[in-house]
Each structure stands twice: as structure tokens, then as C-alpha cells.
Amino acid sequence: MELDSLYQEVILDHYKKPHHKGLPAGEIQVHHVNPNCGDEITLSLEIKDGVFVDLTWDGVGCSISQASASIMGDLVSGKTVAQAAEVLREFTELMQSKGNILGNEEVLEDAIALAGVSKFPARVKCALLGWMAFKDAAIQNGAEI
């Protein structure tokens, strides 16, 4: 898999120093796995006054899955349900584009670094794993996302 080197650096940065990683014991809300690659993400979050707060996750797996979860944590923490829903929609659309769209950098920020993954169908599930865990946890917390 060949990705732009600048983008590769962003991904490796998040992989080596993941943001929002580390779950308080007993607070795991969702656990998602990508058996094709062996990636696992557990995630916990809270919604206060319509805003996502206290999002934390833990996981193991490939650099794409772990970096994507780290980036997701940055992008949805502190956002309202509507704002996070927009980011989720844009990212999902980008991942399903098979490389045909570039993505909206204003909305996706560091997640733009994962755009190249959409050309590799086998890796799209890696990139989406943390986001699907987030969506699941959001719904379990009563968000319409």
C-alpha cells in the first residue's frame, strides 16, 4: 500500500502517540473487531448537554485502525451530536469513495491523511473500525447519529 509520505507521517504519529487512548476500568461500552485484520477497538463516551465528552478508547491492531481511532477521538470530542454526525458522514463517504473523492479537509482535518486507504478495499474496514465503534456508542447513549 502506497500512501503519500506526508500522510504516512500523520498516520504514524497518531499510531505511536494515540490520542484519547486508555479506558477507565469497568466503563467499556462497545467492543468492535475487524476479524480480517485482527483489529480491536473498545470505546466509551458520554454525552453532556448534547456534546460528546469523555471519549476514550483502547485497542490493538494495525497502524491504520489505531491511527484512525486516535484521529476520530480528536475530531468528535467536544463536538455536538450534529457536528460529529457531519464528520462521521464525511469520513464514511471518503472511505467508500474508492479514491474518487479527496475529502473536505475543513471537516476532516487529520482524517484526510487516510484518504488513500479508500483505494484499498481490504483496509477500509480497518480505517472505519473506530468510527463504527463511536457510532454504536453514540447511539447507545441516545444520540441520533
- Residues at the contact surface with Zn ion, assessed by CB under 5 A: 37, 39, 62, 65, 126
- What minimum distance in Å lies between the beta carbon of 16 and Zn ion? 16
- What minimum distance in Å lies between the beta carbon of 2 and Zn ion? 17
Instruction: State how far the Cα of 52 lies from the Cα of 81, in Å rounded to an integer.
Output: 7
Specify the residue, 132 or 143, whose C-beta has the smaller distance to Zn ion: 132
Specify the residue, 37 or 85, whose C-beta has the smaller distance to Zn ion: 37
Residue type, 70: S
Q: SS3 for 98?
A: coil
Residue 106 burial (CB count, 10 A): 8
Specify the residue, 126 or 137, whose C-beta has the smaller distance to Zn ion: 126
Q: SS3 for 36?
A: coil
Specify the residue, 112 or 127, whose C-beta has the smaller distance to Zn ion: 127
- What minimum distance in Å lies between the beta carbon of 9 and Zn ion? 19
> Are the CB atoms for 20 and 56 separated by under 8 Å?
yes
45 burial type by CB count under 10 A (0-12 exposed, 13-18 middle, 19+ buried): buried
Which ranges constitute the DSSP H helices of the chain?
5-16, 63-76, 81-95, 105-108, 121-140
- What minimum distance in Å lies between the beta carbon of 65 and Zn ion? 4
- What minimum distance in Å lies between the beta carbon of 18 and Zn ion? 14
115 beta partners: none
Specify the residue, 47 or 114, whose C-beta has the smaller distance to Zn ion: 114
